[in-house]
Amino acid sequence: MIDGISVLATFLYRLGRFSFRRRKLVAALWVGLLLLFGVGAATLSGPTSNDFSIPGTESQKAIDLLKDRMPQASADGATARVVIAAPNGGTLTEPANKAAVEQVVGKLKALPDVAGVVDPYQAKGVSPDGRIAYTQVTYKVSPIDLEQSDRDALTAAGRPGEAAGLTVEMGGNATEGMPEQSATEVIGVAVAAIVLVITFGSLVAAGLPLLNAILGVGIAMSGITAATGLVKMSSTTSTLALMLGLAVAIDYALFIVSRYRHELEEGRTGEEAAGRAVGTAGSAVVFAGLTVVIALAGLGVVGIPMLTEMGLAAAFAVVVAVLIALSLLPALLGFAGRKVLGGWIPGLRGGRSKNGKPPVGERWARFIVRRPLPVLLLAVVGLGVLAAPALDLRLGLPGDEVKASDTTQRKAYDMLEKGFGPGFNGPLMVVVDTGDENGAKAAAQRFSGRVKGLGDVAAVTQPVANKDGNTALLSVVPKSGPSSKATEDLVSNIRHLPASGGADVSVTGSTAMNIDISAKLSGALLPYLGVVVGLAFILLMLVFRSILVPLTATLGFLLTVAATFGAVVAVFQWGWLASLLGVAETGPIMSMMPIFLIGVVFGLAMDYQVFLVTRMREEYVHGAEPRAAVVTGFRHGARVVTAAAVIMMAVFSGFIFSGESMIKMMGFALAAGVLFDAFVVRMTIVPALMAVLGRSAWWLPRWLDRILPNVDVEGEKLRHALGDDAAPPAGERELETART
């Protein structure tokens, strides 16, 4: 009979035993759920999008106004820039070449869902030397509504020009297909399998976490795919969910299987071992998963729908990973039985010591507790050096200018820059609104004169008014490129120019939207940190019943983020190791990367904090001296935490070789974040701090101790209730070693 213990530990203990005993039923339920979600994905799935929506910003309000007042402008429609160049020694004003260009323009006008095509000869779209021309194609529909057949037809429209000996290249969001999953991601799974085999020394024990993760990710991805038929989602939403879902599912299963093997080696039956493993390690999995979910769901604070979708989808994948680890995994352990201890591979001891020699993790912990201050100082300084490039962090939303040099988008960008200047790749849209009164065109003409007086303006088009005369639209072409600081300043200057006659002026377009996104993300960063870190701090206080342990965990996370930012800037902005990692072009870091990285890495960092320090607390609660608890807890947790970190790095690194720059950057940032946090912060700085703090690390005010519920994540009360009070504290050897 289990009385007076943590409700969570009790429930998980009973769930583990039930799943082990009724394994066929549990396995059938999960397989049935996988089939159900698979059918939903096959029947309900819809298209995905690369679009950004930023409600409440000036650029978005301008787009909404144009949709209402000037729908013919297709402000939110897909666009394509078709750039045409004459062969060497020729010009596009020659009759034959001009006829070929006009044939291309005619083909473009005949495309389905095209709202308008600008004739380069009528709109001064031919370069001064006559060698390069461009036309803008505007669609009636958004990029999400374009089919692959539409993109194929767009490409085909340029073939008459190519047949005439002209060079035809295309850029813009209408040319962007949906990203496909790369086969290189399988490399991460393969590395995870190898790490599991080395960790456990058994194919059976290594296979269970992989099988568990594959089923969990299959359910999560099917659910997300089915949801695309109900709501519009970003094309990268499922990629983030796949990244995190696969990584945490393997990690959570790894911890539970490791604890199950330990219980079996203590002489317990399979059912009892499964119950205890889920009741103890499973409790840590629940709270580790909660920190990840809080961090991901908290991305909704930013107010950018794309980021919210990514966070919620990834949080859903993590929830599935937790549930499947707590229920399906014990069932799989039931099928495997004691085989998880058998099948040892020659040369692999699966964590068992040889000739009584302490494992590497224990030797590393002893080294740290003997010299905590030098180790702490060296680790902090090292991360500080890695973080130095972050001082040069430049945010933006990279466009065609960072595409690979052999892509048509990059070629079109370079040709347009050569013929007209970099600003023609990112013209600004200026909207003049006079409310219910006529006269918007006249007000826009007066305003355009003021814009021409600003620096960095290459050209200003004549304003075009709607039929009611209360809204006018004009284009401003900067002298600088879309992602340059000068263009950003120009947008700010235009927005601060006074408009005559009480007209309301707003600036939109891709460059303006990028600026607004960066501003919104910057403004949301502190509230987001407050929500995520605050909730996670409370959660960690519940887990560790301490104030200093959650505080050190949070400070260590800040070091991790700073070092990760530095690494990202060095590679993707400065170009260090760019060729090795397949980075085609350097440029600004994506505006959403800082807040995204903070959210994901915080959740993963707390994972390792929970898994490693929970075992230290378990030893301390059972009577070990503080430093001995650090050594013993580290000895038990270091091997599986190391394996978990290597697995996560392998899974994330598989995405570095994706063709999509955003996914490549995400994969690199997450892999680097795990590397810094797991091996430098959690396995070096944290034990050093714990050794320095001693008993004060576990200090909690009495009044707070009475308020906080005891979640018993280390299973102390569960052990007492199960008659396991005789379990000895840390051995004299560990205690004596720590003291020396």
Instruction: Give the tens place of pLDDT for each residue, 273-331.
Output: 999 999 888 888 888 888 888 888 888 877 777 778 888 898 999 999 999 999 999 99
Considering 465-479, 673-687, 710-724, the range whose residues carry the highest mean pLDDT is 673-687
Helix crossing, 360-370 with 686-693: angle to 10°?
50
Dihedrals phi, psi of 161, to nearest 5 degrees: -70, -40
Question: What's residue 343's pLDDT?
Answer: 54
Dihedrals phi, psi of 115, to nearest 5 degrees: -85, -35
Considering 164-168, 532-536, 611-615, 634-638, the range whose residues carry the highest mean pLDDT is 164-168
Separation CA 522–CA 508 (nearest Å): 19
Higher pLDDT, 365 or 74: 365
The secondary element (H helix, E strand) that includes residue 390 is none
In this structure, the strands spanning 395-396 and 589-590 are parallel
Q: Answer whether residue 165 shows pLDDT above 90.
A: yes
Mean pLDDT throughout 337-355?
A: 60
Alpha helices of 388-477 — where are they, by DSSP H?
A: 408-420, 440-452
Question: What's residue 344's pLDDT?
Answer: 54
Mean pLDDT throughout 573-587?
A: 80
Structure tokens at 581: 């990692």
Using the structure block, give the residue that is written with the tokens 């680890």: 325
Contacts of 634 (CB under 8 A, 6+ apart): 361, 362, 364, 365, 612, 615, 616, 683, 687
Cβ atoms of 556 and 631 closer than 8 Å: no
Distances (CA, A) of 408 to 176, 405, 411, 413, 626: 11, 8, 5, 9, 62
Q: Answer whether residue 180 shows pLDDT above 60.
A: no
Considering 187-196, 397-406, 488-497, 645-654, the range whose residues carry the highest mean pLDDT is 488-497
Separation CA 277–CA 368 (nearest Å): 29
Q: Answer whether residue 387 shows pLDDT above 90.
A: yes
Question: What's residue 298's pLDDT?
Answer: 82
Question: What's residue 691's pLDDT?
Answer: 92
DSSP string for 220-260 = HHHHHHHHTTTS-EETTHHHHHHHHHHHHHHHHHHHHHHHH
Residues 365-369: contacts with CB under 8 Å, at least 24 apart = 365/630, 365/631, 365/634, 365/635, 365/638, 365/687, 366/631, 366/737, 366/738, 368/630, 368/684, 368/687, 368/688, 368/691, 369/627, 369/630, 369/631, 369/687, 369/688, 369/691, 369/738
Cβ atoms of 289 and 237 closer than 8 Å: no
Question: What's residue 189's pLDDT?
Answer: 72
Q: Answer whether residue 538 shows pLDDT above 50.
A: yes
How many helices and strands (H and E) does the chain possess?
26, 13
Cβ atoms of 624 and 734 closer than 8 Å: yes
Mean pLDDT throughout 35-44?
A: 88
Structure tokens at 363: 């030797």
Q: Using 50, 70 and 90 to split pLDDT, how confident is the model at 730? A: very low
Structure tokens at 305: 């729908």
Mean pLDDT throughout 184-188?
A: 64
Considering only 98-107, 514-523, 654-663, which range has the smallest mean pLDDT?
654-663
Higher pLDDT, 205 or 331: 331
Q: Answer whether residue 181 shows pLDDT above 70.
A: no
Cβ atoms of 199 and 113 closer than 8 Å: no
Q: Answer whether residue 737 shows pLDDT above 60.
A: no
The DSSP output letter for 578 is H
Structure tokens at 698: 């576990």
Separation CA 99–CA 208 (nearest Å): 66
Separation CA 191–CA 671 (nearest Å): 14
Q: Answer whether residue 51 shows pLDDT above 60.
A: no
Question: What's residue 52's pLDDT?
Answer: 55
Q: Tell me what the pLDDT averaged over the chain comes to.
A: 83
Separation CA 740–CA 737 (nearest Å): 5
Q: Answer whether residue 43 shows pLDDT above 80.
A: yes
Separation CA 444–CA 432 (nearest Å): 6
Contacts of 177 (CB under 8 A, 6+ apart): 148, 151
Q: Using 50, 70 and 90 to split pLDDT, how confident is the model at 248? A: confident
Contacts of 328 (CB under 8 A, 6+ apart): 19, 26, 27, 30, 212, 215, 216
Considering only 87-96, 194-203, 542-551, 638-647, which range has the smallest mean pLDDT?
194-203
Closest CA to 233 of 145, 310, 180: 310
3-state SS assignment for residue 460: strand
Question: What's residue 577's pLDDT?
Answer: 84
Question: What's residue 8's pLDDT?
Answer: 77
Mind listing the pLDDT tens digit for each residue in 215-228? 998 999 999 888 87
**b/e per residue 545-572 (b: at least 16 CB within 10 A):** bbbbbbebbbebbbbbbbbbbbbbbbbb
Q: Answer whether residue 382 shows pLDDT above 50.
A: yes
Distances (CA, A) of 498 to 65, 131, 439, 560: 20, 39, 16, 45
Mean pLDDT throughout 45-60?
A: 70
Mean pLDDT throughout 192-201?
A: 79
Considering only 133-137, 703-707, 729-733, which range has the smallest mean pLDDT?
729-733
Question: What's residue 236's pLDDT?
Answer: 65
Separation CA 648–CA 674 (nearest Å): 7
Contacts of 132 (CB under 8 A, 6+ apart): 83, 84, 85, 86, 92, 126, 415, 416, 418, 419, 420
Percent of the chain clearing pLDDT 70 (strictly above): 89
Q: Using 50, 70 and 90 to split pLDDT, how confident is the model at 1? A: very low
How many residues in total does the chain contain? 740
Considering 52-61, 233-242, 352-361, 465-474, the range whose residues carry the highest mean pLDDT is 465-474
Mind listing the pLDDT tens digit for each residue in 630-643? 998 888 778 888 88
Q: Answer whether residue 185 shows pLDDT above 70.
A: no
Q: Using 50, 70 and 90 to split pLDDT, how confident is the model at 659? A: low
Distances (CA, A) of 73 to 67, 97, 120, 154: 8, 30, 18, 20
Considering only 5-14, 386-395, 425-434, 538-547, which range has the smallest mean pLDDT?
5-14
Mean pLDDT throughout 428-437?
A: 87
Contacts of 443 (CB under 8 A, 6+ apart): 432, 434, 472, 499, 500, 501, 503
